[in-house]
Amino acid sequence: MIIKTNVLSPISPHEAEFRKNVFITINQTKIISISKESANGDFEDFSDCVCIPGLIDTHVHLSQFYVRGKHSSDLLDWLQKYIFQAELKSKDESYARKIAEDFFSATVKAGTTTAVIYTAPFKQACESAFEIAKDFGVRAIIGKTMMDCNSPDFLRESTEKSLKESIELFEKWNKSTPLLEYVFSPRFAPVCSSKLMKSVGEFARKNNAYIQTHLSENPDEIKLVKKLFPQFDSYTEVYEKHGILGEKTILGHVIHISEKELNIIKNTNSKIAHCPDSNFFLKSGAFPYERIKNTGIEMALASDVAAGTSLSMFNVMKMFNYRQDNYVVSPQEAFYYATLGGAKILGKDNIIGSVEIGKEADLTFLKIPDIAEKNKDTLLSELLYLGTEKKIKAVFVAGKTFPKFNFQKY
């Protein structure tokens, strides 16, 4: 397949490349050339579009998709009032399949081609998510939420069952296709026993598996951790001493954090998923981006639906800047952390995250009025502040598009 288009691709947090009127040649799953000349006369004409890398959402809750926008005073109240009850519904297989179908449909339509996902703490809910992801042909890293204490009876599992089912899901689904992987997902320290966290850390380390969890999202959450784990100096140390941290660990939020804790995260090569829309919605606090940037900790952006109000990573990019009071986030930075930065924290920057020869053809095409008149800076700015799924003309994952979706034409 050959596509004529205009390519905008990230290079670093401060640099991107814009190439007008080029031909992208895709062979099976990969980009094999990007040139000014077409190899032959037949091509798909997307010359009214900008082609960007497929967007990457590094922290999202599939089983919460239907309860976006449910107002509450703070994180812990919101979980009790809405989220735990919503996740219970995914115990029903037909419901779990329906919400997975709606979630992945909305994800693709938003231009996101890779997502790191929590499901409800039921094995069948996670199975359904993997099955639907496979049917859709999206790139996904999915895990069943784990919680074995201090949580509602209808969600809490025994430590043994939680570990057994998560390992079974890992063995069945991890790398079952080139697009699917498993992530161990202890929800957060307050609902996880020491035995559970230690076992997850040990298994993940031995099997080179991903781990995802939440860290320091809310002051009351931190106080609760201190009460439950008084022997540790900090929330981050709880995870460190239980073996949760490491180069394949993704920590959601990381807002109220000390320098000592940031050093632990840096020294363990753990990664951070920043969720600006979610943090704003729950009034959790402002992410200390400049401090984290200065440490060199690798991070990326995430929607964190359902505390995040939208699966749109364009919305997340915009909120990234809006939520920084004393630092101006450039369009290049926001674009990078929704694409190549996301690929990097997943260890996949060699295959996705930018539009380059040799990489997988995970691509999103947006129709842009008067694109011939745009330069790189104006285009990046418009994507950051005006980007929307309504402009999306086509989405590809590993060289395949989604013909059953009628993308709204702009």
Is residue 93 in some structural domain? yes
DSSP string, 159-195: HHHHHHHHHHHHHHHTTSSTTEEEEEEE--GGGS-HH
Domain carrying residue 32: 2-53+353-401
Q: Are residues 232 and 284 in the same domain?
A: yes
Residue 407 scores a pLDDT above 90: no
pLDDT at 73: 85
pLDDT at 346: 99
Confidence band of 409 (pLDDT split at 50, 70, 90): very low
Q: What is the pLDDT of residues 156-186, one digit of tens each?
A: 999 999 999 999 999 999 999 999 999 999 9
Q: Are residues 277 and 263 in the same domain?
A: yes
Minimum mean pLDDT range among 77-81, 130-134, 141-145, 360-364: 77-81
Is residue 375 in some structural domain? yes
DSSP string, 327-346: ----HHHHHHHTTHHHHHHT
pLDDT at 405: 65
Q: What is the pLDDT of residues 186-233, one digit of tens each?
A: 999 999 999 999 999 999 999 999 999 999 999 999 999 999 999 999
Domain end: 282, 311, 340, which one?
311
Tell me how many degrees the CA angle 281-283-288 measures, rounded to the nearest 5. 105
- pTM of the entire predicted model: 0.97
Mean pLDDT of the chain: 96
Is residue 335 in some structural domain? no
Q: Are residues 87 and 133 in the same domain?
A: yes
Domain count of the fold of the chain: 2
Q: b/e map of 219-250 (b: 16 or more CB within 10 Å)?
A: eebbebbeebbeebebbbbbbbbbbbbbebbb
Q: Percent of the chain, pLDDT > 90? A: 94
Q: Are residues 107 and 25 in the same domain?
A: no
Q: Are residues 392 and 274 in the same domain?
A: no
Q: Are residues 155 and 289 in the same domain?
A: yes
Q: What is the pLDDT of residues 327-385, one digit of tens each?
A: 999 999 999 999 999 999 999 999 999 999 999 999 999 999 999 999 999 999 999 99
Residue 388 belongs to domain with CATH number: 2.30.40.10
Position 367: which residue type? K
Domain end: 258, 289, 311, which one?
311
Confidence band of 406 (pLDDT split at 50, 70, 90): low
Q: Are residues 244 and 378 in the same domain?
A: no
Q: What is the pLDDT of residues 48-96, one digit of tens each?
A: 999 999 999 999 999 999 999 999 889 999 999 999 999 999 999 999 9
Is residue 336 in some structural domain? no
